[in-house]
Amino acid sequence: MLKVLIIHGPNLNLLGRRETDIYGTTDLRTINGKILKKAKSLKINVEFYQSNHEGDIVDMIGQADKKFDAVVINPAAYTHTSVAIRDAIGTLDIPVIEVHLTNIYAREEFRQKSLISPVAKGVISGFGVDSYLMGLEAVVSMLKKG
């Protein structure tokens, strides 16, 4: 069975009460529940990881190809700053999909640059929770095609 690692970056643990005008009122638990439901319908396994710490995310990515077939990551604020996360992804030979709840290209200028996109297989940005679900569908479809 395919196994996909879902990584949530910094402050996403606060979803539901964080800038609700931008991110909505759905909390991370509920988002993970929706991802789990989608995973069941796709007949794959998912594992969740959330961290506010760049190095911990780097460590997790560094181990990912031992255990997982793909990674779906919302790098959150590190999207725009982290050469370390980008380099960690660059070393992997499993596909990594970058997802964002909001459309980062329609927001402040500093969010319009992603250091992660050049090493991602694809990017889905702007569809709220559905960004994760679409990311999962896309990566599973890709893996099944080989």
The 45-50 sheet, strands edge to edge: 45-50, 3-8, 70-74, 96-100, 122-125
Cβ atoms of 25 and 15 within 8 Å: the answer is: no
Amino acid code (one letter) for 142 = M
Cβ atoms of 116 and 58 within 8 Å: the answer is: no
Q: Known catalytic residue: 23?
A: yes
Of the candidates 23, 49, 78, 105, the residue annotated as catalytic is: 23
Among 39, 57, 101, 116, binds ligand DQA (CB under 6 A): 101
Cβ 145 to ligand DQA, closest distance in Å?
Answer: 27
Q: Residue 43 and residue 52: Cα distance in Å, rounded?
A: 30
Choices 26-34, 39-47, 74-82, 135-143; region in contact with ligand DQA by CB under 6 A: 74-82
Q: Residue 38 and residue 91: Cα distance in Å, rounded?
A: 28
Both tokens of 82, joined, read 């982290």
Choices 37-45, 51-59, 73-81, 138-146; region in contact with ligand DQA by CB under 6 A: 73-81
Strands 45-50 and 96-100: unpaired
Of the candidates 8, 100, 105, 132, the residue annotated as catalytic is: 100
Cβ 69 to ligand DQA, closest distance in Å?
Answer: 23
6, β-bridge pairs: 48, 72
With binding defined as CB under 6 A, does residue 74 bind ligand DQA? yes
* Interacting residues with ligand DQA between 109 and 128 (CB under 6 A): 111
Among 7, 42, 100, 132, binds ligand DQA (CB under 6 A): 100
With binding defined as CB under 6 A, does residue 28 bind ligand DQA? no
Which positions touch ligand DQA (CB under 6 A)?
11, 74, 76-77, 79, 100-102, 104, 111
